[in-house]
Amino acid sequence: MIKQQLLNRIADKSAVIGIVGLGYVGLPLMLRFAEVGYKVIGFDIDQSKVDALMAGRSYIEHISGESISEALGRGFEATSDFSRAPEADALILCVPTPLNKYREPDLSYVINTTESLVPYLREGHLVSLESTTYPGTTDEELKPRIESRNLTVGENAFLVFSPEREDPGNPNFTTRTIPKVCGGVTEACQEVGVALYSAVIDKVVPVSSTRAAEMTKLLENIHRAVNIGLVNEMKIVADRMGIDIHEVIRAAATKPFGFVPYFPGPGLGGHCIPIDPFYLTWKAREYGVNTRFIELAGEVNSNMPDYVVSKIASALNERKKSINGSRILVLGIAYKKNVDDMRESPSVILMEKLRDLGAEISYSDPHVPVFPKMREHSFDLSSVPVNADTLKSYDCVVLATDHDKFDYVLLKEHAPLIVDSRGKYLEPAGHIVKA
């Protein structure tokens, strides 16, 4: 029986694992499978990533080159040759699911990757999609393509959705310790998927279908997006009233039940929270449902860079300066503290808005030495050093991402004007403006 043969191979670790997409999700997953003794083949269309990995180099800050070298020693291989897919028993898809310019789901990476694999699919393959997407993607888009190979999902091929839950830079959770949700197209698919992930994850949480698993991931991130939208709106109200919202949140967080602290910022960043709500709002329209609550939170969050710009303009104006012609240093361009992840970073939106208003923009980020090539954003900049002399040369310093590596005492002593969008400075000071 094909299912039992695959289960046996997973159990005795003779199964070969294929990870498709070697980024912030795929690379940690590869390391985990290699760590427990599986042969892993990593697939990526970016040859520079393949070359780096085969040379034992990492291109993600929190993943060490040593860990890549150890994986190579255990038999890991990276390749851009999708014709090697038959060598793998499981193919785990970890590719981006961004939005297009109309803020609609862009499934091109998922579909193109699947279609690149289809010619090489065989009996006994397990395909798992980990990319965040709307409910129905797995059975509407992947299942027909897999079955176009004269395979029958649930009988001689298996298909699951198991959403990634990576949190780059979080020291408290690892790939192994974050519980893994898994939903199969059929019961047989579910059994195989749970067996695969149970081999490397401490706790696997089965759900009844791929659609339930897809909706689970969206709920997790929409919950966060809506709550961040709430505190961002509260920040604006509190500011008008002369109240420090961060003080209020810290006080409210002392309640031991019924309150979870979320913190405002200059906007939403990362590969999930700014994007995922739109996947559900788009799909919901197919069912005649308007997701007004979710869309309102998205509107509030997307307006936050404009709010920060207005605070910068006001602070400079009080000093008889305009944004046009001012030298502005943006501190932190990763989307959150202590990582090098630039995806959907609100700092970049902030930089573009200030540049468009005529500011002379520089940035400093200890995790991003050179501004990377991005699909929609372009700056020919490198991180500048932060010291007493450089700080004094700027008209305004904008704290956009509160990395621990910044010297906040030095900043306070030598920057002529600080616009703090992260609530880092608790004590009031004449040259610090909270945004």
Query: Which residue has 């961060």 as its token pair?
Result: 246
| Percent helix / strand / coil, the chain, rounded to 5 | 40, 15, 45
Q: What angle do CA 211, 217, 219 make, to 5 degrees?
A: 100
Torsions phi, psi for 111 (to 5 deg): -70, -45
CA 398: distance to chain centroid? 23
Cα(99)–Cα(292) distance, rounded to whole angstroms?
Answer: 19
Cα(193)–Cα(126) distance, rounded to whole angstroms?
Answer: 8
Among the options 94, 182, 189, 272, which is catalytic?
272
Residue 272 designated active-site: yes
Cα(147)–Cα(144) distance, rounded to whole angstroms?
Answer: 5
Between β-strands 126-129 and 90-93, what pairing exists: parallel, antiparallel or unpaired?
A: parallel
Find, among 173, 192, 176, the residue nearest to 184 by Cα: 192
List of residues 6+ apart from 114 with CB closer than 8 A? 93, 141, 142, 145, 146
Side-chain half-sphere exposure of 41, counting CA atoms within 13 A? 17
Cα(373)–Cα(359) distance, rounded to whole angstroms?
Answer: 21
Cα(42)–Cα(71) distance, rounded to whole angstroms?
Answer: 11
Active site residues: 272
